Structure 1
């Protein structure tokens, strides 16, 4: 049994993001069938021994798998793979975003969704859509100027673009993730002085306004380019933040 448990967990990435590494390992084992439906998972102690992670990390990983519907727990018996472990819907929960690398993966996902959506929005938008997007941008600027992170308002703007596609599945997809798709908790506004904050807000709003203008003008290519530029620059800022943090740790 110990050899099997070691084999199950020998792929975990020994990085600072241990919980996500353990979750990814367990999901891979479930999806491959190495952990079969109804099979009992190793005990917390066995997982700790096999992976070298703490009990807290193990418990957080199991809680994440329960939230995804992949495992169930039985009082006094332990954790078991769900009888139907295939996820019925894809989801991203806040605890999935433990590192800037996770944020960068989210931005890649958004790129694939939002660039195409921006083109559709430019072709199909109504005047109400344009006014809704403009209103969301005003709210975002006020939120950040007041010292808030602006996550909900930022999400509202990007969701308004999806609504303007006139294809409800786009907005419904974003609603599945919620504001997790705009992970602004990594942007530390509280560490910026007034001038730096103002510069950041102005740059972000220029990018957003370029998207809005292209959609308002029904310029499909310009809308797609503006969204791609915005998300690409966002990725670059997060890469810079990550590299700066790593330099500070070294």
Structure 2
């Protein structure tokens, strides 16, 4: 991979990425490529990643793929983002040492086990969010739900918007360890990133995401109403539906 001369810390580093071929998941491949640059030391702590436009041009991918990849790198602790400025490589001494990495998700059994973990944690998070929400957290949850619905209506995969919705709920708990746990799960929180090639034909994806949109709406409504029991129930149903979907897929592939 051709690289330009090393840039001083804190400015855009001039890495050059060759266009990506169309693998099963462009986001995962872009994350892998950028992470390898960081781990190899070709991108150093304090270096800024290339701009969205530069990454789109170099890798030959959409803005959505770039944003999903940066979000995944942030979840892995490899970069931090500054609104209106860009994404910067983190100091490795400050990165979390324990996380679930995308490469660990080798099978649908792994996906199902992560969903089971999410059911246990996120059900309670929804209840706490309903009990402790304030005006700011409610606005964030409602904004995330609307953004997800708009992305679905536009025919997008809505992975980033889905992740933002769950982040908003974790933040609304008022317990800082919940968002940290979400980052522990990292980019594999949304399972269709891992198994997209197997399940996301057009009609299948559209029908599924329309259902998710309604599930998000029910969760958000319960939190807004301050109904903790209803919020827990709505979140459990939401994640259980996801678990059942992937269990059915696993059975169909045997």
Q: TM-score, normalized by length of structure 1?
A: 0.58
Aligned-pair CA distance for 1:145: 3.7
2:250 maps to: 242
Per residue, is there more helix in 1 or in 2?
1
- Partners of 1:107 and 1:180 lie apart in 2 by 10
Matched, 1:121 2:129: yes
Consecutive unaligned residues in structure 1, runs of 5 or more: 1-66, 68-87
- Partners of 1:221 and 1:122 lie apart in 2 by 9
Per-residue CA deviations over 1:154-181 (Å, capped at 9, x if unaligned) read 1110111010001111001112332321
Residues 90/112 of structure 1: CA separation in 2 closer, same or farther (3 Å cut): farther
- Partners of 1:197 and 1:101 lie apart in 2 by 20
2:202 maps to: 192
1:222 maps to: 230
Per-residue CA deviations over 1:81-112 (Å, capped at 9, x if unaligned) read xxxxxxx7431111111111111010011111
Per-residue CA deviations over 1:95-133 (Å, capped at 9, x if unaligned) read 111111111010011111111111111100012211111
Residues 187/207 of structure 1: CA separation in 2 closer, same or farther (3 Å cut): farther
Residue of 163, 175, 178 corresponding to 2:171: 163
- Partners of 1:93 and 1:146 lie apart in 2 by 30
Q: Count residues with an aligned counterpart.
A: 158
Once the two structures are superposed, the pairs formed by residues 1-250 of structure 1 within 5 Å of their partners are: 89-185=97-193, 186-188=195-197, 190-193=200-203, 196-246=204-254
8 A Cα contact 1:151 1:179, kept in partner: no
Per-residue CA deviations over 1:45-66 (Å, capped at 9, x if unaligned) read xxxxxxxxxxxxxxxxxxxxxx
Larger radius of gyration: 1
Consecutive unaligned residues in structure 2, runs of 5 or more: 1-75, 77-95
SS in 2 for 1:102: helix
- Partners of 2:158 and 2:185 lie apart in 1 by 17
- Partners of 2:206 and 2:158 lie apart in 1 by 14
- Partners of 1:98 and 1:226 lie apart in 2 by 29
1:61 maps to: none
Q: TM-score, normalized by length of structure 2?
A: 0.58
8 A Cα contact 2:171 2:178, kept in partner: yes
- Partners of 2:201 and 2:127 lie apart in 1 by 36
- Partners of 1:178 and 1:119 lie apart in 2 by 22
Q: Aligned-residue CA RMSD in angstroms?
A: 2.0
* RCO comparison, higher one (Cα < 8 Å, 6+): 2
- Partners of 1:147 and 1:98 lie apart in 2 by 27
Point out 4+ residue stretches in structure 1 off by more than 3 angstroms: 144-148, 187-190
